[in-house]
Amino acid sequence: MQTKTVKVTQDIKKDEYIYEEAGRILREGGLVAFPTETVYGLGGNGLDPDASRKIYAAKGRPSDNPLILHIADKEMLYDIAENVSDKAEKLIDTFWPGPLTMVFKKADKVPSTTTGGLDSVAVRMPSHPVAVAMIRAAGVPIAAPSANVSGRPSPTLAKHVVEDMDGRIEMILDGGNIAIGIESTIVDMTSAPPVILRPGYITKTMLEEVAGEVSLDPTLLVKPTEDLRPRAPGMKYRHYAPKAELTLYEGSIDKVASVIWKQALEKMAENRRVAVIATKESKVVYDKLVSEAESAGKIQPNDNKIDFILLGSRQDEESIARNLYAVLRECDEKAVDYIYSETFSLDNFGQAIMNRLRKAAGYNIINLND
């Protein structure tokens, strides 16, 4: 299949003919990848079981892993979901359109192929103008997982979508950079109190301010076991994973940087390629360690087997989230054998960042706190 990649601007009117084409492809059962404020999505008609089958096939995703339905207005919600509670209405008024997905009892018209056989349905109203225009043009709810091959980091740039989906889908709408960079918060509204199934930009505190008590699926930050299984089917898979072995180090920046540096040097001596994920703050420490090693003759200035890849600033959590998946993909491109990274706070938005990073590392975490 020939995939058509089209650049779109924020000027929806000017690009109207592109949305007409995307809408037609979707109504006819084809697939279109599109930007949202969180990550790029891989869209198909959410009411067409064949479109969902194509999505699972394009991603190589197990079909028991349900898809989120994306809508452009509230009318669409009442068409696909039942028992929308007052609490849910309050959350909708506050956070939609935006990076919040809510799980409801599904209406009969939603095919069970879309919901992975569950009798509930996850719904989200994205705020990205391109996503909104595309859903409106299609005129149906759009089932959309992240537009990556199953197991790879979610795409935050159109080029990531091209890497994973070229030749597998009809069209890619290239809307440039993504604002948030990690997937939406998912809250199960079918239980009391509502339960966070996946942390995201909308935090527990933000939800509780609007809707009262909200609980957290206890598996979100630890390795799932037979007894402790995540309630969102998709959260049980090893996800967001780079190809190299990723190890996380917890502790003070100075301690973490010196241990990672020592470890990286050992691997370099064994002729292995190493990437170190650094922040503006830790980079200062690494730079010092590198120049000390150079003056001691331990490494040569043009030894380049250790790549320092800048994630963002610890002072600006949003920069960390925005760059995380692109950095993991960059490590894949550089074909490194080992990746070492510092860790981040578990508070607020940091919880979503660490949920993704810990999964990417397969819970391979070394604690250097005394």
- Of the candidates 101, 120, 146, 351, which one interacts with Mg ion according to CB under 5 A? 146
Buried b (16+ CB within 10 A) or exposed e, 341-360: bbbbeeeebbbbbbbbbbbb
72-101 binders of ligand TXA (CB under 6 A): 101
Q: Answer yes or no whether residue 341 interacts with ligand TXA by CB under 6 A.
A: no
Nearer to ligand TXA, 201 or 261 (CB): 201
Nearest to 246 by CA among 366, 158, 352, 132: 366
Q: Nearest approach, Cβ of 221 to ligand TXA (angstroms)? A: 15
- H helix or E strand, kind and range, residue 211: helix 204-211
β-bridge mates for residue 171, sequence order: 4, 32
Nearer to Mg ion, 45 or 146 (CB): 146
**What's the rounded Cα separation, in Å, for the pair 154 and 265?**
30
**Single-letter residue type at 200:** G
Q: Answer yes or no whether residue 190 interacts with Mg ion by CB under 5 A.
A: no
Q: Answer yes or no whether residue 197 interacts with ligand TXA by CB under 6 A.
A: yes
How many residues bind Mg ion (CB under 5 A)? The answer is: 1
**What's the rounded Cα separation, in Å, for the pair 337 and 157?**
24
Q: Rg of the chain over CA atoms, in angstroms?
A: 21
- Of the candidates 51, 68, 276, 321, which one interacts with ligand TXA according to CB under 6 A? 68
99-128 binders of ligand TXA (CB under 6 A): 101, 103, 115, 118, 120-122, 124
Angle, alpha carbons 173-175-180 (nearest 5°): 125
Alpha carbon distance, N-terminus to C-terminus of the chain: 56
Binding partner of residue 190 among ligand TXA, Mg ion, none, CB cut-off 5 to 8 Å per kind? none
Q: Nearest approach, Cβ of 234 to Mg ion (angstroms)? A: 6
Q: Nearest approach, Cβ of 238 to Mg ion (angstroms)? A: 12
Nearer to Mg ion, 68 or 207 (CB): 68
What are the residues binding ligand TXA (CB under 6 A)?
Answer: 36, 38-39, 41, 65-68, 101, 103, 115, 118, 120-122, 124, 144-146, 183-184, 186, 197, 232-235
